[in-house]
Amino acid sequence: DGHRASSSQAPRASARPSRAQRERGAEPRAERKVATSLAEELRRLTRERDSAREHAEEAALQLESARIAYDGQERELQAQRRHARGIEGRLVQLEMDSARLRAWVDSTPSTTARVDNFLGGMLHTLQGESGSLSRGEGPSAKPGQQRARSDYLASALNSPHGNKL
């Protein structure tokens, strides 16, 4: 019976495994290595996916922020363009006013002698138009007076405000 008991017992740890046992034991180890490397690869891919999602979310936020900034800049640019058009309109008006003033200044004398001639011409014109013939300044006026009157009328009619005189 002692002999039978030893044959039914499991082989001892010190006993060398057979070739079949070694091949069977090698398969689970290789499978475990493959499973371990696949699990590591899966964890690495999961980390990369999560990182890519975070970067995509950051990029989407930056894009939205850039769109908001662009829209604000576009509104500001449109407001500046409207303001510039208003200023251009005002500039045109000022240039027209300036041209009128220059023409008016050019029609008025700038020296004392011209002022005297201008005032004299104006006086003669007004006297001639008022009909004061009793003083002898109507149709029988002196040639110098007639010339002064005609010079004054010509300068007044050539000015931009001539029709208002």
Supply the pLDDT for residue 14: 53
Asked which of 51, 85, 119 is the last residue of a domain, the reply is: 85
Whether residues 126 and 69 fall in one domain:
no
124 burial type by CB count under 10 A (0-12 exposed, 13-18 middle, 19+ buried)? buried
pTM above 0.85, yes or no: no
If one counts the domains in the chain, the total is 2
The answer to the question of residue 99 being in a domain is no
Supply the pLDDT for residue 129: 47
The answer to the question of residue 6 being in a domain is no
Whether residues 76 and 128 fall in one domain:
no
The answer to the question of residue 2 being in a domain is no
Supply the pLDDT for residue 32: 86
The answer to the question of residue 160 being in a domain is yes
**DSSP-derived secondary structure for the chain:** -HHHHHHHSPPPTTSPPPHHHHHHHHHHHHHHHHHHHHHHHHHHHHHHHHHHHHHHHHHHHHHHHHHHHHHHHHHHHHHHHHHHHHHHHHHHHHHHHHHHHHHHHHHS--SHHHHHHHHHHHHHHHHHHHT-GGGT-STT--HHHHHHHHHHHHHHHHSTTGGG-
Mean pLDDT by 10 residues, the chain (165 residues): 49 60 66 90 96 96 97 97 95 91 75 61 60 48 66 67 47
The answer to the question of residue 121 being in a domain is yes
Whether residues 81 and 36 fall in one domain:
yes
The answer to the question of residue 61 being in a domain is yes
Domain range for residue 59?
20-85
The answer to the question of residue 65 being in a domain is yes
Whether residues 113 and 155 fall in one domain:
yes
The answer to the question of residue 101 being in a domain is no
